[in-house]
Amino acid sequence: MPNILVIGATSAIANACMRRWADPGVRFYLVGRSAEKLDQVGFDLAARGASVHQYILDLNELDGVADMLDACCASIGWIDIALIAHGTLPDQAACQQDPKVAVQEFTNNGLSVIALLTDLANRMEAQKSGCIAVISSVAGDRGRPSNYLYGAAKGAVTTFCSGLRARLSKSGVHVLTIKPGFVDTPMTQRLTLPKLLIATPEKVGRDIVRAVEKRRDTLYTPGFWRLIMLITIHIPGSIFKRLGL
Ligand SMILES: NC(=O)c1ccc[n+]([C@@H]2O[C@H](COP(=O)([O-])OP(=O)(O)OC[C@H]3O[C@@H](n4cnc5c(N)ncnc54)[C@H](OP(=O)(O)O)[C@@H]3O)[C@@H](O)[C@H]2O)c1
């Protein structure tokens, strides 16, 4: 039965994955910044028979990452699956007005993930097994006026994971880059999105669990986003500028 580390364990998408993984014998190590929300998630998984450990950390506190990973390894011993799920959807207009907001959001969605992966990768490389599954976004495939700060951070994560995958493949560690489209979670509550394109966290969670099992490199979820993004990245720049996406 696997040992599973979940970073940003209070995320709706992470929860959908964890409910699928939860079974007697499975050991979860949950990391999040809200003790109250972590407790709720932990109770749910424990009720399904899993064993649950919790650690409170704001992932922007980069100095806290090594201690958290030490504590994780001391508690559950080794990591079969690490799911990296934390993130925020920035207010693009605020990012354009205030460099501090832009840097803060880039740190939360990009640099904090890269810092975490840098330490985690070395531990998994020494372990010579396991899967690191990282939630990036289709937004990282091409910058759009409406969310290019978020897209730039996710694009950095996607590129980092591509290199990390090639490096860790030599040690038997698998890296999965997850690119969801629009998902109905607390993150997107304030947005008006095209109904036909919105997926449930359950659908996305099912796709992620299957992609981890099949050791896929990149997952677009739902799958139709692969085609949408293929078209999007090939739109000539002169036309893309005028589309106002
Ligand atoms: N929903 C979408 O349409 C969509 C699309 C593409 C990609 N994604 C990505 O999917 C991932 C999961 O998001 P979601 O849709 O499940 O939204 P969500 O339910 O809002 O989950 C995001 C989680 O990240 C946590 N978090 C944010 N910053 C953190 C930090 N510095 N330290 C610790 N925890 C932090 C939040 O914790 P609190 O609850 O304590 O704030 C929240 O639980 C994110 O990486 C997101 O960018 C989502």
34 lines ligand 1 (CB under 6 A): yes
Predicted local distance difference test score (pLDDT) of residue 70:
98
Residue from 112, 135, 221 to probe ligand 1 pocket by mutation (most atoms less than 8 Å from CB): 135
Is the model's pLDDT at 1 over the cut of 90?
no
Q: How far is the CA of 234 from the centre of ligand 1 (A)?
A: 29
pLDDT for 220-242, tens place per residue? 999 999 999 999 999 999 999 88
Instruction: Read off the pLDDT band of 103 (50, 70, 90).
Output: very high
pLDDT for 32-69, tens place per residue? 999 999 999 999 999 999 999 999 999 999 999 999 99
Residue from 88, 178, 220, 226 to probe ligand 1 pocket by mutation (most atoms less than 8 Å from CB): 88
pLDDT for 185-229, tens place per residue? 999 998 888 889 999 999 999 999 999 999 999 999 999 999 999
32 lines ligand 1 (CB under 6 A): yes
60 lines ligand 1 (CB under 6 A): yes
Predicted local distance difference test score (pLDDT) of residue 46:
97
CB 65, CB 7: distance < 8 Å: no
pLDDT for 160-177, tens place per residue? 999 999 999 999 999 999
Q: HSE (CB half, 13 Å, CA atoms) of 50?
A: 26
4 lines ligand 1 (CB under 6 A): no
Average pLDDT of every residue of the chain:
97
Provide the strand spans (E) within 85-182.
Answer: 131-135, 174-180
188 lines ligand 1 (CB under 6 A): yes
Q: Which two structure tokens, joined as six digits, stand for 149?
A: 């700060």
Q: Give the ligand 1 atom nearest the CA of 13.
A: 16
pLDDT for 121-135, tens place per residue? 999 999 999 999 999
Q: How far is the CA of 242 from the centre of ligand 1 (A)?
A: 31
- Give Cα 57 distance to the centre of its chain: 16
Predicted local distance difference test score (pLDDT) of residue 73:
96
Predicted local distance difference test score (pLDDT) of residue 244:
72
Is the model's pLDDT at 115 over the cut of 80?
yes
Q: If you take atom 45 of ligand 1, which residue's CA is the nearest one?
A: 87
Predicted local distance difference test score (pLDDT) of residue 18:
98
Q: How far is the CA of 58 from the centre of ligand 1 (A)?
A: 12
Q: Regarding the domain delimited by 3-243, which CATH topology (the fold level of the hierarchy) does it fall under?
A: Rossmann fold (3.40.50)
Predicted local distance difference test score (pLDDT) of residue 111:
98
Is the model's pLDDT at 245 over the cut of 80?
no
Q: Give the ligand 1 atom nearest the CA of 187.
A: 20
CB 208, CB 133: distance < 8 Å: yes
pLDDT for 74-97, tens place per residue? 999 999 999 999 999 999 999 999
Q: Give the ligand 1 atom nearest the CA of 184.
A: 1
- How many other C-beta atoms are found inside a 10 Å radius of the C-beta of residue 50? 21
CB 168, CB 217: distance < 8 Å: no
Helix (H), strand (E) at residue 209:
helix 201-213
